[in-house]
Structure 1
Amino acid sequence: MSGLKAALLGTAVAVVAAGGALAQTAPTLRVGMAAQDVGRLDPHFAVSTIDRVIVAWMFNGLVRFKPGSIDPSEIEPDLAERWETSADGRTWTFHLRRGVQFHGGFGELTADDVVASLRKAGTAATSAFSADFRAFQTVEAVDPYTVRIVLSENVPSLLGLLTNYSGGFIVSRRAVEQRGAEFARNPVGTGPFALDRVTPNQSAELAAHAGYFRGAPQLGRVSYRFIPSDASRDLAFQNRELDVNYGRADQTWINRTRQVPNTVVDVFEPGELAILNLNTRQPPFNDIRVRQAVAHAINRAELVRFRGQDVAREGQSLVPRGYLGFAQQQLPAADPARARALLAEAGHPNGLTIRMIHTQLPEMLNMMQVVQQQLRRSGITLDLQVVEHATFHQQIRQDLSPMVYYSAARFPVADIYLTQFWHGRSRVQTPTAVTNFSHCDQADAQIDRARVSTDINEQRRLWAEAQQILVQNVCGVPLIETLLVFARRDNVDYGYELKGSMSLGPMITERTRIR
């Protein structure tokens, strides 16, 4: 019987662990995801929710968020067991755990792997998060178990960059070198689960890493199944073919799923802030009056009612609520008449049509269709070009859509969100591209000065000023913040209380079990 067939039947399987030793027979956790396929499993390129969820089960950082939490004050040791910093905050020394093993027989983690990983994460050609590491002056191995990082300038949260999240994941240097481009579909980490295989458009199968440094996982396998249809995924969950189900952040879905016997619905942080990013360098959005028309067309209260009070709240700035440095802004009020007048002033008395690329991911598509209706009331017709989610990410980074709906959560400090989405260095189609789809750069000075300031009050003032400038220039239009939703069988015990997850899905750890 194949591992996949066993997973589908929910039977226990004998797992050959990543280190090659035969692990004890243990159950398979079956997770349903709203996806056609995974994209890139190189963690430094894992930008979509689909990829972020699974890479967090396979990789570690030097430090980590406490499982179930996104509170920066609860960051704790991971691959590093301790660290020190210099008085000026620019030199950090990390002491690694000894005996940590990579998957697939790639040997023990050493400082060379950490150095190679952080250099990779900080290089645009090998990472989607390189801009986060621009202050890294040197990264060097002092000895096989000690890494020293020297910064060219202070950063708001050095530990935040080194967590088990985005560019902070540590990879096997040797595996990256040997596998090259194939590493994106055949990655090697140190986490509790190792990739066994990916069956395109079907599933990614993970095997327990018996040599995991925190102890062998209680699960034998994780079957990460790609089921893009909400109805099909929900039916599979109701028929007990899935143990965990990616949920819709929708009140009706939550209420209905809570009625399924033996089911727990987890609603957790962070709130993903959805924004309409407007390309200020291309027609029609190079005219601020058109951008202002879009802003007046949006009715955030209506969007919250559509999504549901349990899972949604109005966006209040171009940085999510709760982030250090968030500053609530006075946003344009919903006013279709004003929007039409602005369009007429801009030379579009009969309205205009905008061709927009958008993902088929159901949750994002449903919300965009509501936005589409709001814009139509104000004379703006959206010609939605719906594509597969991985294709969506590729095409918006090629600057092929003048309007980009993007929903994201980041490490909860304003600097990272401002830098990735609103700094000139992060403009797409540039050598240092991240996710600045608007091509705005008007607040660069404030963002840069706040980043290096050692005075928290000065940082807060500059971050607030940056948000005000960006809102006034209508670089983007905040929509709503949506909390994350997953359903699980009540016999699935994650091993912690799920209050938040920066990977945007439940962390499956060595303590996760099926009771």
Structure 2
Amino acid sequence: MRLSLPTRSAILAAAVAAGLALSAGPAAAQKVVRVGIHGADIGSLDPHMSAQTIDNVIHAWIYGGLVRFPAGTIDPSRIEPDIAQSWTKSADGLVWTFTLRPGVKFHGGYGEVTADDVVYSLQRAGNPKTSAFASDFKSFDKVEAVDPRTVRITLKTPVPSLLGLVTAQRGGYVISRKADQEAAGQYTSKAIGTGPFQLEEYRAKQFVALTANPDYFRGKPKVDRVLYRFIPANESRDLAFRSGELDLFYGRKDQRWVDRMKSTPGLAIEVFGPGELRLINLNTTMKPFDDIRVRRAVAHAINRADFVKFVGADVVSPNPSVVPLGYLGYTDQVERFAYDPEKSKQLLKEAGYPNGITIKVLGSNRSFVEPYQLLQAQLAKAGITMELQLIEHTAWHAQIRQNLSAMVVYTAARFPVADIFLTQFFHSASAPGKPTAVTNFSHCDVADREIDAARVEQDPKRQLELWHQAQQKIIANVCAVPLFDEDQVWGRSTKLEFGHELKASISFGPMLTEQTTLK
């Protein structure tokens, strides 16, 4: 199946029209970073409610957390103060006390951040009614404001990385209690954070405009505004950059795109982490995947080398496990399923399908179609017919959480500790309909014991062993077939300097900070 693309002239006309509309007026005299993102619209500017890349990128420019990764890295050993200036923990790891930095102000005149705002934010992040990340906080017993500048977190059980939960990302973002209560459920129009840029205007399916935060505690940003434009079509973003309408844009995780765009004048290609692991998740609750022989048939039908060659060695790395490369707790000591279509056919025959099987698969229209086509071709050689239906991205997210797809091809990264990835994708608590779910389409429970035990294990060596065992069980049970890790790929004008070396970004997009400059 191939997507039809608009004609080149239509794309260019649309891009130019959008560019003219956004560059008119007083903003033209300012230093404006124009960003092109790959979605049709924002999901939510509420940082506790969305796990979509398109939202994560802009959240990181608006919000802060108690702690943060230094810009350009996701190394847990380098986590540093953000809204908090210091912290301590008890000997048993159950009580953490954070002292807030004085003078950190919310956007829009909402005043200085207090312990009450932090308590409110963390309690909100841990509530499944107000957060997509509630399961991350299930080990929290209580969060208290000791005084206006001191927050105490008490855990029921130790967690692998408490700082990871309160860092500036996802559920760790701090919001204003007053602003949230005033928003009354309309948070996208009332996004109030503490970061270097603040919300100026949101136009549905057009753009989000941000302005420099004059009260940012690290100093006012050197650029005045950021225009975050929604440009879903890949060619439209490329053309918009070439015509001088973008300074930064979401690229393609595709070697051919990288090679083709390298010759573009004034363009720098940024390839950075974290790598997002692409998995073929199998719905073990649906026939025929309730039979492990069928799941093993799928595993033997996949030729990872072809995928790596097709997508490109500059942007992907093969990965045999179900945790992204480089995460604390990762192991490659798992069962390997050699590419063997004939063995797949034999397994299907043993399972009662001598003539092969047909499966219906939902795919996101935001994903690249070509890898789906490669997957279809590989499965077909093994007697597995994949009927693919591409649907709108938001609808796809909703429907895979309703058990409507036998197979889910999903790409994701999380805080770089194995626990979070294993819990969200391969623990029974993340099964469809469970209030503790985040990804909400796990169909695996074979490693619950190891995942749970590792979360509270105090011996680091034993904790690693448990995470390794969990991965080994999940792979052996074929809850998913891992393909590869794919890095983030963006295009940047050489006139734009981030102000830091970009090796990785927990938001999956470049960080725009107070040090970012535009010539």
TM-score (norm 2): 0.93
Please give the secondary structure, in 1, of the residue aligned with 2:420. helix
Match 2:362 to one of 357, 362, 370: 357
* CA apart distance, 1:400: 2.1
* CA apart distance, 1:415: 0.9
Q: Which runs of 5+ in 2 are unaligned?
A: 1-17
Match 1:448 to one of 428, 445, 452: 452
Tell me which residue corresponds to 1:87.
91
Q: Which runs of 5+ in 1 are unaligned?
A: 15-24
Tell me which residue corresponds to 2:181.
177
Q: In the alignment, is residue 486 of structure 1 matched against residue 490 of structure 2?
A: yes
Q: Deviations over 1:274-324 (max 9, x none)?
A: 101111112121111111111111111110001101111112101111111
Q: In the alignment, is residue 194 of structure 1 matched against residue 208 of structure 2?
A: no
Supply the AA of the counterpart residue of 1:464. H
Q: In the alignment, is residue 233 of structure 1 matched against residue 247 of structure 2?
A: no
In 1, distance between residues paired with 2:410 and 2:81?
Answer: 32
Q: Deviations over 1:492-511 (max 9, x none)?
A: 01110100001000011111
Tell me which residue corresponds to 2:428.
424
Superposition pairs for residues 343-382 of structure 1, below 5 Å?
Answer: 343-363=348-368, 365-382=369-386
Give yes or no for contact 1:40–1:185 (8 Å, CA) kept in 2: no
Tell me which residue corresponds to 1:56.
60
Give yes or no for contact 2:48–2:131 (8 Å, CA) kept in 1: yes
Q: Deviations over 1:307-356 (max 9, x none)?
A: 10111111210111111111112221111111122222222222222222
Give yes or no for contact 2:427–2:442 (8 Å, CA) kept in 1: no
Please give the secondary structure, in 2, of the residue aligned with 1:45. coil
Superposition pairs for residues 280-429 of structure 1, below 5 Å?
Answer: 280-328=284-332, 329-363=334-368, 365-429=369-433
* CA apart distance, 1:181: 2.2
TM-score (norm 1): 0.94
* CA apart distance, 1:367: 2.4
* CA apart distance, 1:361: 1.2
In 1, distance between residues paired with 2:340 and 2:202?
Answer: 48
In 2, distance between residues paired with 1:120 and 1:8?
Answer: 35
Tell me which residue corresponds to 1:70.
74
Q: In the alignment, is residue 505 of structure 1 matched against residue 509 of structure 2?
A: yes
Q: Deviations over 1:159-218 (max 9, x none)?
A: 111111111111111222221321145422111112222222221211222111111111
Match 2:270 to one of 253, 266, 273: 266
In 1, distance between residues paired with 2:490 and 2:517?
Answer: 17
Match 1:212 to one of 207, 216, 225: 216
Q: 1:62 to 1:338 in 2, by over 3 A?
A: same
Q: 1:450 to 1:11 in 2, by over 3 A?
A: same
Match 2:500 to one of 488, 496, 500: 496
* CA apart distance, 1:144: 0.9
Which is further off, 478-487 or 210-219? 210-219
Q: In the alignment, is residue 457 of structure 1 matched against residue 471 of structure 2?
A: no
Give yes or no for contact 2:335–2:476 (8 Å, CA) kept in 1: no
Q: Deviations over 1:358-414 (max 9, x none)?
A: 111144x43223222221222222222212222222222233222111111111111
Q: 1:26 to 1:217 in 2, by over 3 A?
A: farther
Supply the AA of the counterpart residue of 1:325. G
Give yes or no for contact 2:63–2:174 (8 Å, CA) kept in 1: yes
In 2, distance between residues paired with 1:31 and 1:11?
Answer: 18
Tell me which residue corresponds to 2:3.
none
CA-based RMSD of the aligned residues comes to 1.7
Give yes or no for contact 2:424–2:442 (8 Å, CA) kept in 1: no
* CA apart distance, 1:12: 6.3
Please give the secondary structure, in 2, of the residue aligned with 1:478. strand
In 1, distance between residues paired with 2:35 and 2:24?
Answer: 11
Supply the AA of the counterpart residue of 1:169. Y
Name the count of aligned residue pairs.
Answer: 501
In 2, distance between residues paired with 1:6 and 1:108?
Answer: 38
In 1, distance between residues paired with 2:373 and 2:65?
Answer: 38
Tell me which residue corresponds to 1:165.
169
* CA apart distance, 1:9: 3.1
Tell me which residue corresponds to 1:8.
22
* CA apart distance, 1:5: 6.8
Give yes or no for contact 2:418–2:467 (8 Å, CA) kept in 1: yes
Identical pairs, percent: 52
Q: 1:443 to 1:362 in 2, by over 3 A?
A: closer
